[in-house]
């Protein structure tokens, strides 16, 4: 079965790459700065948040490089929200195409997650710049050998997002209400994920809540490496891997079960 999946994957890889490059071309059409926006946007976002929380709310996290702290969380959450959102709408948007030619349906959400993924890789450049410019021995925020483990967390984030994208896009075919519902869920999720605060600031009995947020684990994994200069704990590795695989497989199963029905609702 795995062989068949891979063969199918290979057969449609050209279409997938075409769709990803199409998204790229269309996204930056008629913008002067073009792809530079992918680098600038998270930087500006970080600056705004740093201003608001450091100066207005007098947020203090002693011994932590707050700019890098913000940035590590932001780039990952941005990826998640943008990719899951566009994966969710990808099926409905492509209904006209689905009615005309046979294309494996998984291509639509997956190509969106890949496209936003390339964008995500670009946002790692400003993250790296911030680390190089503001990092120092004092806060332990320096380049280290554990950076080699970072792709693991990013891969988990990707799998989790693809899985969720499969689930959301399946639901969207039958129930358009999901667009609005997930919009609200994303807003809640944004506050439920420690992007600008640390969970140690939360009451201890509420801290357990964060274990059920996979995004917390992925972000925590990268922060343990980038900010605290040590290898992530074993439980962190397991939480990341477990949540990603479970959601990914669950998404695949749901999608596969329902994909032949999509066309009747198109």
| 133 makes contact with other proteins (CB under 8 A) | no
CB of 21 to other proteins, least distance (A): 8
CB nearer to other proteins: give 208 or 261: 261
- Cα(206)–Cα(156) distance, integer angstroms: 25
List binders of other proteins among 90-129 (CB under 8 A): 96-103
CB of 94 to other proteins, least distance (A): 9
10 binds other proteins per the rule CB under 8 A? no
Is residue 211 within the footprint of other proteins (CB under 8 A)?
Answer: no
What is the closest distance, in whole angstroms, from the C-beta atom of residue 157 to other proteins in the complex?
28
180 binds other proteins (CB under 8 A): no
Smallest gap from residue 41 Cβ to other proteins (A): 21
The binding site for other proteins (CB under 8 A) comprises: 14-15, 18-19, 22, 25-26, 29, 96-103, 260, 263-265
């Amino acid at each position: 079965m795995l062989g068949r999946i891979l063969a199918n994957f290979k057969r449609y890889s050209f279409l997938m790459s075409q769709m990803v490059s199409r998204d790229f071309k269309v996204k930056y059409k008629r913008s002067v700065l073009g792809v530079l926006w992918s680098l600038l946007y998270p930087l500006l976002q970080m600056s705004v948040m740093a201003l608001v929380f450091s100066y207005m709310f007098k947020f203090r996290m002693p011994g932590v490089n707050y700019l890098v702290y913000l940035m590590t969380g932001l780039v990952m959450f941005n990826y998640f929200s943008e990719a899951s959102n566009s994966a969710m709408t990808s099926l409905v948007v492509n209904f006209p195409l689905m009615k005309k030619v046979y294309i494996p349906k998984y291509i639509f959400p997956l190509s969106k997650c890949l496209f936003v993924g390339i964008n995500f890789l670009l946002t790692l450049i400003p993250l790296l710049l911030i680390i190089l410019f503001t990092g120092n021995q004092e806060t332990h925020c320096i380049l280290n050998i554990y950076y080699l483990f970072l792709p693991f967390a990013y891969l988990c984030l990707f799998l989790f997002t693809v899985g969720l994208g499969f689930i959301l896009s399946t639901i969207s075919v039958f129930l358009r209400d999901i667009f609005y519902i997930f919009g609200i869920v994303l807003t809640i999720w944004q506050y439920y994920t420690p992007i600008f605060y640390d969970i140690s600031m939360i009451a201890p009995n509420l801290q357990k809540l964060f274990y059920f947020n996979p995004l917390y684990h992925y972000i925590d994994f990268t922060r343990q490496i980038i900010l605290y200069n040590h290898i992530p704990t074993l439980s962190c590795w397991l939480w990341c891997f477990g949540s990603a695989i479970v959601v990914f497989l669950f998404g695949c199963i749901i999608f596969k079960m329902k994909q032949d029905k999509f066309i009747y609702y198109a």
